[in-house]
Amino acid sequence: MLAIVTFLVGAALGVSVARRRIERNATNAATQTRDTAAAPASGERGAVAATAAQPAAVDDIIVAALDALPSGVVIAESNGSIMFKNAAARAISGVRHIDVLVEETVESMVVSAVHAETQQRRFETAGAPSRAFDIRTKRLVNGRIVATVEDVTAQSRIDTVRTDFVANLSHELKTPIGGIAALADTMIGETDPQVIERLTSRIVDESYRLSRIVDDLLDLSRIEFGGADDWEPVALSDVVNEVVARMQHEAKRTGVAIETKNLAGVRVVGDRMQLVSALENLVSNAVKYSGDGKKVLVEVQATAELVSVVVIDQGIGIAAKDHQRIFERFYRVDRARSRTTGGSGLGLSIVRHVVSNHGGTVSVVSEEGRGSTFTVVLPREEFASVVPTPERGADSPNDVTVSDSATSASETDVSV
C-alpha cells in the first residue's frame, strides 16, 4: 500500500516539477518569440502549449487517484507542515475523538519522520467496539514525507480471532487429555479399590468432555460445508417443543423455569436436526447462565415474511466488549467459569453457522447482571431461497456488525 502511494506521490511531485520546467520553457520560448519577431514560430508555440496543458491533466488524474484510495494519504513538507491530504485523510479531520486522536498521531509521526526513513505505528482505541489504525510514514527523496492511514479494525479482529482460536483449541483439547494422563498415571500402582473407582470415573468424565468437543467440532464442520439437498419444510413449533423437552430435565435440576410462547403453523425450510441443535445451544446457555429461581422464555414471533425465535434469560448477561466475539469458536467470556459450566465453547458458533446456512440472522442484546436476549430471524417457508449457500470464511468479522442501540445495552447482529 505505502509503495503504491509513494509511487503515486512521487509521480505527482515529479509531474509538478516537469510541468514547472515545461512552463518555464514555454515562457522562455514566448520571450524568445517576442524578441525575434521574425521567427514564424506559431506552430512550435502551439506544440509547447499543448505539452504544458497535458501534464496538468495528469496531475489532476493523480490527485483523483489518491482521492479514490480507501486509505488516508498525507503529504508533508520536510519541516512537518502538511501540504496535501487525500479525500480519506480529509474525512478523518473531524471532531469525533477517534478522528482527532488519529490526526494527532499522524502529525506527530510526520514531525518525527525527519529521524527515520520509515515508521509504522498501530493506534488502537478503547471502548466497545474498539478500532485500530495502521499509520506509516516514509521519507521521500526530496525530503518530503508521505504518511498513510489505514483503518485495520477488521483485519486486527481477524488476527485476534485466528491467534485466539489456535490458543483456545489447544487449551480445550489439552486440558482433558492432560487430566486423563495424570489420572491414569496416578492409577498405576494404586491398590485401594475405592481410589481406583474414583479415578476411573473422573477419567470417564474427562473422556466424555473430550469426545463432546470433537463431536461439536465435527458438527460445526458438517454444518459449515453442508449442502441443502435434504432440506424440507420444518414447523418451528415442533423444533421449540423438542428443544424444551430435551432441556426440561436440566432446567429442573438447576431450578430454572422454561416458559414458551409458541406459534403453531409457522414453517421454515431447512435441516430439522441443525435447527434443533442451534436452538438447543441457545436454550442450554440460557439455562446454564441463569441462577436458581430464574425464568427462561422461548418465544416464536412471525411477520408476513420472517419468523423469529427469541430466547430471553435473566442470567448473568454478557459485557458489551464481548458481544462481537461470542460467536467465535472457543471464545470464552470468562475462562475460569467455563470449567464449572462445562460445554465445548462451540455452541454459539454452531448457532451462527446454522442460522446463516438458513439465510437468517442471529443477534444478541445483553447487559451484565440483567440477562441476555438472543434472537434468531429466519425467512418463512414461502420466502426461503431455493438453494441456500453454505457460509464460507468462518468467523469472518465482515459478518458481524454492531448496531447502535437506543438502549445502553448494545446489540450485535450476525448476518449473512
Partner 1 sequence: MEETRKSYHTELEELRSLVVRLGASVIEAIPRATNVLLSGDLEGADYLVQSDDEIDARAHDVEDRTFEILALQAPVAGELRQLVSILKITSDLERSADLAVNICKAARRIYGKEIDPVLRGLISKMSEQAEQLFQAAINSFAENDAATAAAIEDMDSFLDALHRQFIQAIFETHARERMDLQLAVQLAIVARFYERIGDHAVNVGERVRFALTGWKPELRAIARQRQRDATGEFPITQG
Quick one: angle between helices 272-288 and 236-254, nearest 10?
Answer: 30
15 in contact with partner 1 (CB under 8 A): no
128 in contact with partner 1 (CB under 8 A): yes
Task: Give Dmax over CA atoms of the chain in angstroms.
Answer: 122
Q: C-beta of 122: minimal distance to partner 1 in Å?
A: 15
Task: Locate 144 and state its grid cell.
Answer: 518530503
Scanning 63-71, 97-105, 161-169, 356-364 for contacts with partner 1 by CB under 8 A, the matching segment is 97-105
Q: What are phi and psi of 40, to 5 degrees?
A: -85, 70
111 in contact with partner 1 (CB under 8 A): no
Cα torsion for 380, 385, 389, 391, to the nearest 10°? Answer: -40
**For 387, which DSSP code?**
S
**For 331, which DSSP code?**
-
Strand partners, 123: 133
97 in contact with partner 1 (CB under 8 A): yes
DSSP string computed for 70-133: SSEEEEE-TTS-EEEE-HHHHHT-SSSHHHHHHHHHHHHHHHHGGG-SEEEEEEE--SSS--EE
**162 and 331 Cβ atoms separated by less than 8 Å:** no
Q: C-beta of 4: minimal distance to partner 1 in Å?
A: 30
Strand partners, 138: 118, 146
Q: Which is nearer to partner 1, 171 or 370 (CB)?
A: 370
100 in contact with partner 1 (CB under 8 A): yes
Q: Which is nearer to partner 1, 279 or 409 (CB)?
A: 409
Q: Which is nearer to partner 1, 97 or 261 (CB)?
A: 97
Q: C-beta of 100: minimal distance to partner 1 in Å?
A: 4
Give the type of residue at 184: A
367 in contact with partner 1 (CB under 8 A): yes
Q: Which is nearer to partner 1, 123 or 330 (CB)?
A: 123
Scanning 1-9, 11-19, 113-121, 314-322 for contacts with partner 1 by CB under 8 A, the matching segment is 314-322
Among 101, 235, 306, 416, binds partner 1 (CB under 8 A): 101
Q: C-beta of 269: minimal distance to partner 1 in Å?
A: 38
387 in contact with partner 1 (CB under 8 A): no
178 in contact with partner 1 (CB under 8 A): no
**What pairing do the DSSP bridges indicate for beta strands 257-261 and 295-302?**
parallel
* Site of interaction with partner 1 (CB under 8 A): 95-98, 100-101, 104, 125-128, 316-317, 319-321, 367-370, 408
